């Protein structure tokens, strides 16, 4: 299990390294070099520009960001559903897991082997629950979401355009978007926790912490990032 976790963390590192090798202030074009630019960032930038030109409206580019964001979320929906199901399955067996851990609390090798055996039996008994299954969808989504962020920041056509009451390349001066985004994030976290008993929540305090921490983090990001990024976060 530790080996698989290390592999997942290594994949995250590769994605971050790959995306970090490109200057975020360099405009993306069809002539941009590198696998990351050609096959990840530019296709999304091209999609943003063409959707905006299709509408030919004053707020076309802002509307395009919203539409492409929703489209990406729709494409990734099966992965999100799988992740949610895996999370719910893990929450459901938390009381039994806790009992097993208390039963085999000793740190000697023989006891730890029994702990692993009974834990695996519990997973198999409950439909083959995999504690790392919830991580895999995140790993798959990460390159797409990071590439979309690069596309938004590096599409020169977005510069100088306005959407509703703000400029796409400036933060929201009225703090409306940060507040709305924080509120939507809270509701999303609340819905994800729906159906989880208080007993399970008490055994997984990180869920309760994230319920309040995530809205603060997302709202704070929207407070100083350009509106073009705030729209992505608000359209989640």
For 17-54, letters b (16+ CB in 10 Å) and e give: ebbeebeeeeebeeebeeebbeebbbebbebbbebbee
CA 178 to chain CA mean position, Å: 18
**Is the whole model's pTM more than 0.85, yes or no?**
no
In sequence order, the 6+-apart residues with CB closer than 8 A to the CB of 28 are 37, 41, 42, 45, 150, 151, 154, 155
What are the boundaries of each domain within the chain?
1-93+130-163, 94-128, 167-236
Q: Report the first-to-last Cα separation within the chain, whole angstroms.
A: 31
Q: What is the pLDDT of residue 49?
A: 93
Residue 166 and residue 172 in contact, taking contact as beta carbons nearer than 8 Å: yes
DSSP summary character for residue 163 = E
Residue of higher predicted confidence among 136 and 19? 136
Q: Comparing C-alpha atoms, which of 50, 37, 55 is closest to residue 157?
A: 50
Residue 233 and residue 221 in contact, taking contact as beta carbons nearer than 8 Å: yes
In sequence order, the 6+-apart residues with CB closer than 8 A to the CB of 107 are none
**CA angle, residues 210, 214, 217, in degrees to nearest 5:** 140
In Å, what is the CA distance from 83 to each residue of 89, 115, 126, 138?
A: 10, 25, 16, 8
Identify the weakest region by mean pLDDT among 81-90, 129-138, 169-178. 129-138
pLDDT in tens, 149-169: 889 888 888 887 777 777 777
pLDDT in tens, 49-96: 999 988 876 778 888 988 998 999 899 888 888 877 877 787 788 888
Q: Comparing C-alpha atoms, which of 148, 115, 118, 127 is closest to residue 229?
A: 148
């Amino acid at each position: 299990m530790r080996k698989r976790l290390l592999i997942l963390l290594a994949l995250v590192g590769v994605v971050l390294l790959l995306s970090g090798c490109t200057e975020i202030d360099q405009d993306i074009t069809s002539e941009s070099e590198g696998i990351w630019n050609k096959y990840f960032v530019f296709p999304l930038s091209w999609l943003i520009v063409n959707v905006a030109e299709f509408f030919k409206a004053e707020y076309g580019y802002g509307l395009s960001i919203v539409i492409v964001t929703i489209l990406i979320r729709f494409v990734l929906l099966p992965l999100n559903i799988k992740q949610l199901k895996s999370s719910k399955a893990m929450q459901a067996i938390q009381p039994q897991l806790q009992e097993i851990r208390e039963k085999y609390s000793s740190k000697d090798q023989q006891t730890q082997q029994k702990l692993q055996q009974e834990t695996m039996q519990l997973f198999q008994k409950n439909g083959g629950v995999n504690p790392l299954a919830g991580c895999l969808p995140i790993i798959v989504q990460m390159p797409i979401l990071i590439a979309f962020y690069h596309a938004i920041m590096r599409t020169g056509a977005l510069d100088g355009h306005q959407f509703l009451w703000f400029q796409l390349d400036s933060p929201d001066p009225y703090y409306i978007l940060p507040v709305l985004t924080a509120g939507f994030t809270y509701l999303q976290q609340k819905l994800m926790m729906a159906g989880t008993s208080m007993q399970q929540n008490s055994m997984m305090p990180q869920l309760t912490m994230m319920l309040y921490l995530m809205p603060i983090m997302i709202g704070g990001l929207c407070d100083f990032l350009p509106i073009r990024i705030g729209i992505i976060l608000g359209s989640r």
